[in-house]
Amino acid sequence: MKELLIILLCGMGLSSLAAKPNVLLIMSDDLNTALSGYGHVDCKTPHLDRLAVRGVQFDRAYCQFPLCGPSRASMMTGLYPYRNNVLLNFTHFRKTVPDTVTLPQLFRRNGYYTARVSKIYHMGIPVEIRKGTARDDDPESWDAAINITCAKNPGPEINWSPKKSGSQRFAAVYGTEGDSSYADGMAADRAVEMIQTLEPNKPFFLGVGFVRPHVPLIAPQKYFDLYERTSLTIPFAPEDDLDDLDDLPEVIQNDQTAEAMGITTPELHRGLLEAYYASISYMDAQVGKVLDALDEAGLTDNTIIVFASDHGYHVGDHHKFQKRHLFEECTRVPFIISVPWLKEQHGRKSMQFAELVDLYPTLVELAGLTPPESIQGTSLLPLLKDAASDDWKKQAVFTVAEGGGESLRTADWRYTQWGFGDSGCELYDLKNDPGEFTNLADNPEYKEELEIMKTALEKRRVKVGYQGAVTREHADKKKAVAAARAARAKKKPSKD
Ligand SMILES: [Ca+2]
Ligand SMILES: [Ca+2]
């Protein structure tokens, strides 16, 4: 009956108005564009590639913040970080914008059943996945929420970053058991169960969060076996790449360099690449299980499927690893949207600029809901109808980071400044230097271009919500930590 209705609607030329479509939002964690469908030379992601075949793959999609918490808060509230003031991993948007209506909450208010499995909002990985908690979740978003609890010591481990200890080290875990013994397999199983037991005829918004390839890089051994470690390609970076960033602040001179992490040989580097790719292929296979369950339940024809990562990731580009930076590899994300009834564009790649903050207005428009007026971002529907649409107006993407990092990327240039403009800057000519290796900020020949980009960035930041001292206050980590400590101390019962 539902299929008939869609056919009728399509026949009536109302193809974008399918009655109450369902939404399946699949998130990955710390995944850059290492997908075979994005042309990656080594990594294998057959299931995400098959999703892209029935949707539009956004090849120029960018996060708003290269860190889990603020990026996810921006995407789920439809607000740029300067508007919702979530500029630190541990700031919760209910504290800064208490009355905001999140994306799933809006669907919930419109009669949808909304649920999540595992990490959709910020969660500390691996700590919370071991405890089975989701401290920064938003109960108002969901009718049901499932946390995953997995083993603390899941299997034999190699640390490929020997100088880095602690939970964020590059630990690879070579799982001796099957998919369902580890976090993402558990999440897929629970998502499949949920799909199989959905109430008929009630539309749903289901968020399925996978935590790989966030470290520790855990995957069953069979996914490591997909790769020939010794032949993996190490990302190219000129030896002196970091020299032109000497006078920039600590956030980019931090402990995430190859040297500081001890990733100093090709063997160590390839060991972590293999583990990163193995954990991506493992996550990819779990995506496949969820897609199959949707097919088997007969729900695919009326379900919008979105796949996104919360931010990009360095695996040795610029001699750097992990996140928090504002280079291309760290800000660009895989982003696929499948709308079953917009078939004409299926399998196409859009080269137009998209931002994760655009997801909220896109899904709202596709479902025919009315968004809150405060929503930022731009509906991607024109690109879902024509991936190359000339009418698309977004000519630049804007990402902010810790340390007052701000970056504006246009088709030809990337301009990044730190300390909100007080602590140095970077300028890259993407036409001639797509790898962003030569910082032109101090080159007098590019003074004019630098001024143009700086002005454009400062205009954009005001447009998306920058409020000077107020914004700086929300970004001040030291003050926030001190305030949190003081609040905790206040809560403790007095000794006398
Ligand atoms: Ca993340
Ligand atoms: Ca450089």
**292: CATH:** 3.40.720.10
The answer on 223 and 173 residing in a single domain is yes
Nearest residue to 180 via CA among 191, 172, 167: 191
Residue 393 lies in a domain: no
One domain for residues 172 and 235: yes
Does a structural domain hold residue 91? Answer: yes
**Judgement on whether residues 43 and 140 belong to the same structural domain of the protein:** yes
Q: What is the mean pLDDT of residues 61-66?
A: 98
Ligand number, closest to the Cα atom of 319: 2
- Examine residue 119 and state whether it is found in any structural domain, yes or no: yes
- CA 30–ligand 1 middle distance (angstroms): 4
Answer yes or no: do 376 and 451 share one domain.
no
Q: Which of 47, 122, 319, 325 is catalytic?
A: 122
- 376 plus 336 within the same structural domain: yes
Residue from 43, 68, 330, 425 carrying the catalytic annotation? 68
Task: Answer whether 388's CB lies under 8 Å from 352's CB.
Answer: yes
- 31 alpha carbon to ligand 1 midpoint, in Å? 8
pLDDT at 253: 62
**CA dist list (Å): 115 to 140, 266, 292, 316, 452:** 11, 43, 19, 37, 45
Residue 8 is predicted with a pLDDT of 46
**Residue 451 burial by Cβ neighbours in a 10 Å radius (0-12, 13-18, 19+):** exposed
- Mark whether 271 and 334 lie in a shared domain: yes
Could you tell me the distance, in angstroms and rounded to a whole number, from the CA of residue 437 to the centre of ligand 2? 4
More confident residue, 113 or 17: 113
Smallest-distance ligand from the CA of 89: 1
Using the predicted structure, report yes or no on whether residue 415 has a pLDDT greater than 70. yes
Q: 29 lies in a domain?
A: yes
Domain that includes residue 327, residue range: 22-386
Q: How would residue 336 be classed by pLDDT, with cut points 50, 70 and 90?
A: very high
The answer as to whether 187 is a domain residue is yes
Number of domains in the chain: 2
Encode pLDDT of 29-38 as tens digits. Answer: 999 999 999 9
pLDDT of residue 370 exceeding 90: yes
Residues of the chain above pLDDT 70, percent: 94
**326 C-alpha to ligand 2 centroid (Å):** 13
Confirm whether 214 is a catalytic residue. no
Assess contact for 313 and 30: CB atoms under 8 A: yes
- Are 239 and 376 found together in one domain? yes
pLDDT at 414: 98
Q: How does the average pLDDT of the chain come out, rounded? A: 93
The reply to whether 68 belongs to the active site is yes
Same domain, 343 and 485: no
CATH number for the domain that contains residue 426: 3.30.1120.10
Shared domain check, 226 and 109:
yes
Task: Find the 262 Cα to ligand 2 centroid distance in Å.
Answer: 20
Domain assignment present for 139: yes
| Ranges 14-18, 80-84, 118-122, 345-349: which has the least confidence | 14-18
> Looking at residue 492, what is its pLDDT?
61
Comparison of pLDDT for 345 and 488, the residue scoring more: 345
1, part of any domain: no
Spacing, Cα 453 to ligand 2 middle (Å):
19
Residues forming beta bridges with residue 400, ordered by sequence position: 406
Pairing of strands 335-338, 56-58: antiparallel
Does residue 2 fall inside a structural domain? no
